[in-house]
């Protein structure tokens, strides 16, 4: 699953990248620190999953999610959200919302579930 990580803090991007590189079925194709860079990368590459921090420095998560959906035919989106922001993020209907600061296993479980659903969808798609 080609995965792009968008998170502001470099240590968060690195932690996410290292975790996903160890996880079978995920191929991290890049990491970015803001919404503009995310959209630029998405215009030039194929991507199945976007892991998105809700506090990117250059725009509300709602705008970023809408722009990702405009660029990709059927993106899978997992949002890392501040607990207070979760209700607003859930309104965006991401594939999963994980609170920032949650144990890493909770994030990995959410990502595995998204990957499983993605695989099932691909297997059921007509040739």
Please count the structural domains in the chain.
1
Would you place residue 126 in the very low, low, confident or very high pLDDT band (cuts 50, 70, 90)?
A: very low
Task: Determine the average pLDDT of the residues in 94-98.
Answer: 95
Task: Determine the average pLDDT of the residues in 66-84.
Answer: 91
Task: Determine the average pLDDT of the residues in 106-116.
Answer: 95
Q: What is the 3-state secondary structure (H, E, C) of the chain?
A: CEEEEECCCHHHHHHHHHHHHCCCCCEEEEEECCHHHHHHHHHCCCCCEEEEECCCCCCCHHHHHHHHHHHCCCCEEEEEECHHHHHHHHCCCCCEEEECCCCHHHHHHHHHHHHHHHHHHHHHCCC
Residue 89 belongs to domain spanning: 2-124
Residue 92 has pLDDT above 80, yes or no: yes
Task: Determine the average pLDDT of the residues in 70-99.
Answer: 91
CATH of the domain at 79: 3.40.50.2300
Share of the chain above pLDDT 90, in %: 70
Task: Determine the average pLDDT of the residues in 4-18.
Answer: 95
């Amino acid at each position: 699953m080609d995965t792009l990580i968008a998170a502001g803090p470099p240590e968060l991007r690195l932690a996410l990248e290292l975790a996903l590189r160890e996880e079978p079925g995920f191929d991290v194709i890049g990491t970015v620190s803001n919404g503009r860079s995310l959209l630029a990368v998405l215009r030039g590459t194929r991507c199945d999953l976007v892991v998105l921090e809700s506090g990117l420095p250059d725009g509300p998560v709602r705008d970023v999610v809408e722009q990702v959906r405009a660029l990709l035919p059927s993106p899978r989106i997992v949002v890392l959200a501040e607990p207070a922001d979760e209700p607003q993020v859930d309104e965006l209907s991401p594939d999963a919302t994980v609170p920032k600061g949650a144990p890493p296993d909770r994030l990995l479980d959410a990502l595995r579930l998204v990957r499983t659903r993605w695989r099932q969808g691909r297997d059921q798609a007509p040739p």
